[in-house]
Structure 1
């Protein structure tokens, strides 16, 4: 039974419930034969009801193709798509209980904001009084009540994005698909809309499937993130999980900035090729003498106030990058081995406290923050 947005409260996704979306070994080849490279390859995933689920990855990784198959705008070459347990693999978009918000918004400039939001309801033959009530609820939800009679061309980019969102939600879909809807906004507005979009999703309680190539967006809004590469999911987990504990070298490098180095694992440390030995956390699955990669985030490297038992290494400052709240130091540990270390510019920081190029420094880290990737 449908529930009006005003009656809904923030929800917590229930992973034990029937998945709102289930993809069962879907593959998409645009050429149609087995010799054609797959845009999406043997992909299986479950998305829980009420979940904000992000498909994250670089251009060409298959995330938008996956979204289009969920919406019915593209047919899988093989595999099946289930919505709330119903197989919809061969159903057209208008037979699926989903709606889509596109990057372009696709608003009708000749219609008012209210008429844009009401468009789908009118086509569905909903009664006039019901349309008026539901449009009013949606405009209140996206904070555009006073803009009801305006034309979209008179609105800002963020306001148009809200109109597109209201138009998609007013039909009460079980799943809302969002294809990089914030990409056209400037950085400050995009960050503001990230917070607002998450708040709206929590209030309406609808499953959101969000496509983005922006790691910050995915980390800010998602309950879970699926990091895609070459048509496959390399890691799916909470934002904290995929950032702090990446399962592959690709995920470590794609999720923010990471110092990636290669070497040989020996007795709790990795001997970096051409560099120092780096103490690492427990990794019982790694055998002695294995060639591995290690990943450590710049913010996990210390340049001062070391704890007594922290492993250390010496290096030379090669460059500094000032970014307002933070300063990043590029430190050469050995020829060809350079790491980035990030420090906050706090209220106690002074310009003269910053290191300069050419200075010798000591860095330290906690072994558990240095991840070993087989």
Structure 2
């Protein structure tokens, strides 16, 4: 719901308003909800990611912000103004699509200038703004080229420049890096974040890639079945997932089943581990311990660690890291990630069938209903 708090001293009312506010927004298609009762505030100048699996409602939410899809109920506000009934061309937003949607018959410069010409901006100002924006996205000197002669990363930059040159209040990005190869995508993630900081425009970014959201976003909304499961900083959603879905979707998380009793979790595979009192979890409740693979140790344990025995079932070498799949009990297998920084340990890896002991610090595990 909209906040009733007064702006902080020295902050004007307009500056205190969210750049984007979705207030109880839903979208129903023939009795099936793509988005259900979604409320979000996105701050001015924020890089905000909508993250989730296919069909979770993230693109529908983006389209409702942009005016391409009308909500069944609820309100969309931009800078405090109700734009729910306004068409896309009446909203101060621009969109970068996965396909880029460039005009191949126009030059790079004419593609970037397209929106400015439609707005009736003067020729000299268009030339200046286009040249400045091409330099900003590292395409200076390529204005006369046609899009079809550019690489995928360069085409992505043209689409970004075309959107930013209009100085929108909010820039919407619908998986714009999905068509790029892995190495280029990672480089563009860093460059896109740098550009966002330079221009200071609010970015709303849709992605199904967890690494992408963690790398670029100031805050992440993790969506599932039309709802937000958790919204917070990348560190919040990764280190402190709100539930099993977020824990399993945000990277890899080991979920070890057990029963909560008197400040301990009695694992189904045997030992009882102290976890402290947990609010909202009743004694005797079935729970899962969530532990990230990189938080589990295979040797050199510290005092106070929770220790569990298991059997190595698989060893997977992937360059910088080695992943061990360790069976704690029938049907209970955890993943353990080790950095390949010590050559002697690399040459003395654990192998399938060997019995091992693993451990983790109690503060590194979460108790999930």
Aligned match of 2:182:
187
Aligned match of 2:70:
75
Question: 2:131 & 2:274 partners in 1: Cα distance?
Answer: 60
Aligned match of 2:6:
none
Question: 2:126 & 2:54 partners in 1: Cα distance?
Answer: 39
- 1:146-225 superposed matches below 5 A: 146-225=141-220
Structure 2 residue runs of 5 or longer lacking an equivalent are 1-12
Question: 1:350 & 1:260 partners in 2: Cα distance?
Answer: 27
Matched, 1:19 2:18: yes
Question: 2:276 & 2:341 partners in 1: Cα distance?
Answer: 29
User: How many residues get paired?
Assistant: 357
Q: Does the Cα contact within 8 Å between 1:23 and 1:45 map onto a contact in 2?
A: yes
Question: 1:121 & 1:192 partners in 2: Cα distance?
Answer: 29
Matched, 1:110 2:105: yes
Question: 1:359 & 1:307 partners in 2: Cα distance?
Answer: 22
Q: Does the Cα contact within 8 Å between 1:281 and 1:368 map onto a contact in 2?
A: no
Matched, 1:341 2:340: no
Q: Does the Cα contact within 8 Å between 1:22 and 1:81 map onto a contact in 2?
A: yes
Question: 1:116 & 1:331 partners in 2: Cα distance?
Answer: 54
Q: Does the Cα contact within 8 Å between 1:259 and 1:297 map onto a contact in 2?
A: yes
Shift of the alpha carbon at 1:287?
Answer: 2.2
Q: 1:227-259 deviations in whole A, cap 9, x for unaligned?
A: 000000000000000000000110000000000
Question: 1:226 & 1:167 partners in 2: Cα distance?
Answer: 27
2:292 to 286, 291, 297: 297
Matched, 1:268 2:250: no
Question: 1:50 & 1:288 partners in 2: Cα distance?
Answer: 45
Aligned match of 2:310:
315
Question: 2:260 & 2:273 partners in 1: Cα distance?
Answer: 9
Matched, 1:86 2:81: yes
Shift of the alpha carbon at 1:37?
Answer: 1.8
Shift of the alpha carbon at 1:284?
Answer: 3.3
Structure 1 residue runs of 5 or longer lacking an equivalent are 1-13
Cα distance change on mapping 1:132 and 1:243 into 2, 3 Å: same
Shift of the alpha carbon at 1:349?
Answer: 4.3
Shift of the alpha carbon at 1:274?
Answer: 4.2
Q: Determine helix, strand or coil for the equivalent of 2:29.
A: coil
Shift of the alpha carbon at 1:348?
Answer: 3.8
Q: 1:79-107 deviations in whole A, cap 9, x for unaligned?
A: 00000000000000000000000000000
Shift of the alpha carbon at 1:292?
Answer: 1.4
Q: CA RMSD in A?
A: 1.5
Matched, 1:126 2:121: yes
Larger mean Cα displacement after TM superposition, 291-300 or 51-60: 291-300
Shift of the alpha carbon at 1:334?
Answer: 1.3
Shift of the alpha carbon at 1:146?
Answer: 1.6
Q: 1:121-152 deviations in whole A, cap 9, x for unaligned?
A: 01111000000000011001001012111110
Q: Does the Cα contact within 8 Å between 1:281 and 1:370 map onto a contact in 2?
A: no
Task: Report runs of 4+ in structure 1 exceeding 6 Å deviation.
Answer: none
1:38 to 12, 33, 38: 33
Shift of the alpha carbon at 1:286?
Answer: 2.1
Cα distance change on mapping 1:349 and 1:101 into 2, 3 Å: farther
TM-score by length of 1: 0.93
Q: Does the Cα contact within 8 Å between 1:97 and 1:175 map onto a contact in 2?
A: yes
Question: 1:281 & 1:111 partners in 2: Cα distance?
Answer: 64
- 1:251-290 superposed matches below 5 A: 251-280=246-275, 282-290=277-285
